[in-house]
């Protein structure tokens, strides 16, 4: 039995004070649905748990100009069902509702979902080699069973996929993340928040030790009427994405004025494809163009023994999402 200290805090300064005392040994608890899972598997072994559920960060606020600022403790169910999110960012609502189960969504928070760890089975099994869990030990997935793993943004040290559905919608919507730490507050574009594994798969985000996510801001968007999240998974009940696509289009008389494309289940980070967007913008919204965009999105894919099927699956998922969004099917 290992002793763990637990403290519940009521405001951000108290959370930061606890975090900065011993940042490497402390974990924040939000919904707890990912952290406590990993603690039971001995993948995470914090000495101090700081429960942040008392922080006043559970609101969705409308900012001047129409942007939305979402507190880190807003539960996934509440965010998915928020009137302004459903009206203005349907792709986000759909992505949230495609993730996990109703019970999990009732507990899971915005910040916890952004930071949830990979579902790579070798990462979750402490008897296996894993550079992400323990740098320098190797990667059991490279020559192991890698059907669920990424094909975009991989390195020869790690091929784990980012598991979040919500993150795919947030990167497509040009969200930004507000952070607060010992050196003050800073704002990071969502697309720059998650890191590719490279030679340091243990570093997954630009969050510094001792920092807290406080909010996510969604810019005012003209994409409300045409945005869509499509997720392909092994079963209809809760399951992580094999491939998914978050898409938003602005159309005028059948021509694409603006486009947003992001993929899930295939990338080591939430995967915005500006390459696919460039193929779409200024062109007619039809299947030929959508297939060209999907080919551009998957161009750099690198496959392993069991996950080669994901390339075609992701292409088809993206074509389906674009076709649904454009009203072609």
Q: Is 317 in the site for ligand FAD (CB under 6 A)?
A: no
Q: Is 229 in the site for ligand SF4 (CB under 6 A)?
A: no
Locate 169 and state its tokens.
């919608």
Choices 21-29, 85-93, 183-191, 303-311 (CB under 6 A): range interacting with ligand FAD: 21-29
**Among residues 240, 244, 256, 290, the one that binds ligand FAD under rule CB under 6 A:** 240
The interface mask with ligand SF4, positions 110-149, x = CB under 6 A, is: --------x-x-xx------xxx------xxx--------
Within residues 47-106, the interface with ligand FAD by CB under 6 A covers 72, 99-100, 104
- Can you list the positions of beta strands (E) in the chain? 5-8, 26-29, 48-51, 60-62, 68-71, 176-181, 184-189, 212-218, 227-232, 243-252, 255-264, 271-272
Partner from ligand SF4, ligand FAD, none binding residue 163, C-beta < 5-8 Å depending on class: ligand FAD
The residue among 279, 275, 258 whose CA lies nearest residue 267 is 275
Q: Could you give the CA distance from residue 122 to residue 201 in angstroms, rounded to a whole number?
A: 14
CB of 76 to ligand SF4, least distance (A): 24
Closer by beta carbon to ligand FAD, 240 or else 290: 240
60-62 and 243-252: which strand pairing?
unpaired
319, exposed or middle or buried, with CB in 10 Å at 0-12, 13-18, 19+?
Answer: buried
Distance CA 5, CA 302 (A): 43
- Residue given tokens 């947030």 in the structure block: 170
Q: How far is the CB of 267 from ligand SF4 (least distance, A)?
A: 13
- The item of ligand SF4, ligand FAD, none sharing an interface with residue 279, based on CB under 5 to 8 Å by kind, is none
> Smallest distance from the beta carbon of 57 to ligand SF4, in angstroms?
30
Closest distance between ligand SF4 and the C-beta of residue 95, in Å?
23
Under 8 Å between Cβ of 52 and 212 = yes
Binding residue for ligand FAD, selected from 17, 48, 147, 238, defined by CB under 6 A:
238
Give the DSSP H or E segment for 310: helix 309-326
Q: What is the DSSP letter of 226?
A: S
- 167: enclosing H helix or E strand: helix 166-172
**How many residues at the interface with ligand FAD, by CB under 6 A?**
30
Q: Is 118 in the site for ligand FAD (CB under 6 A)?
A: no
316 vs 177: CA distance, rounded Å? 31
Which among ligand SF4, ligand FAD, none contacts residue 31 (Cβ within 5 to 8 A by kind)? ligand FAD
Region 88-117 residues binding ligand SF4, contact defined as CB under 6 A: none
- Per DSSP, the chain holds a count of helices (H) and strands (E) of 13, 12
What residues from 253 to 272 belong to the interface with ligand FAD (CB under 6 A)?
Answer: none
Instruction: By CB under 6 A, name the one of 77, 118, 154, 164 that touches ligand FAD.
Output: 164
Binding-site ranges for ligand FAD (CB under 6 A): 27-35, 37, 72, 99-100, 104, 107-109, 111-113, 115-116, 163-166, 212-213, 238, 240
């Amino acid at each position: 039995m290992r002793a763990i200290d637990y403290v519940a805090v009521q405001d951000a300064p108290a959370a930061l004070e606890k975090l900065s005392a011993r940042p490497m040994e402390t974990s924040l608890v939000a919904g707890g649905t990912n952290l406590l899972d990993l603690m039971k598997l001995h993948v995470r072994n914090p000495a101090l748990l700081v429960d942040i559920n008392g922080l006043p960060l559970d609101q969705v606020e409308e900012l001047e100009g129409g942007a939305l600022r979402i507190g880190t403790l807003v539960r996934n169910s509440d965010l998915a069902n928020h009137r302004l999110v459903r009206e203005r960012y349907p792709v986000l609502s759909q992505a949230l509702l495609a993730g996990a189960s109703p019970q999990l969504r009732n507990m899971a928070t915005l910040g916890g979902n952004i930071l949830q760890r990979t579902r790579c089975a070798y990462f979750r099994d402490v008897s296996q080699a894993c550079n992400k869990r323990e740098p320098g030990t190797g990667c059991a997935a490279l020559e192991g069973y890698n059907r669920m793993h990424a094909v975009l943004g991989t390195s020869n040290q790690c091929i784990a996929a980012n598991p979040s559905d919500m993150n795919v919608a947030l990167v497509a919507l040009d969200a930004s993340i507000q952070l607060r730490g010992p050196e003050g507050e800073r704002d990071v574009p969502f697309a720059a928040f998650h890191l590719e594994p490279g030679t340091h798969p243990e570093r997954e985000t630009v969050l510094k030790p001792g920092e807290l996510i406080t909010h996510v801001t969604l810019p005012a968007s003209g994409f409300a009427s045409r945005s869509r999240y499509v997720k392909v998974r092994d079963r209809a009940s809760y399951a992580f994405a094999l491939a998914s696509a978050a898409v938003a289009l602005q159309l005028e008389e059948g021509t694409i004025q603006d486009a947003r494309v992001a993929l899930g289940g295939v990338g080591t980070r939430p995967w915005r494809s500006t390459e696919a967007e460039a193929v779409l913008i200024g062109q007619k919204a039809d299947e030929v163009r959508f297939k060209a965009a999907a080919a551009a999105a998957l161009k750099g894919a690198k496959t392993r023994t069991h996950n080669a099927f994901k390339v075609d699956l992701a292409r088809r998922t993206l074509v389906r999402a674009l076709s649904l969004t454009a009203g072609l099917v």
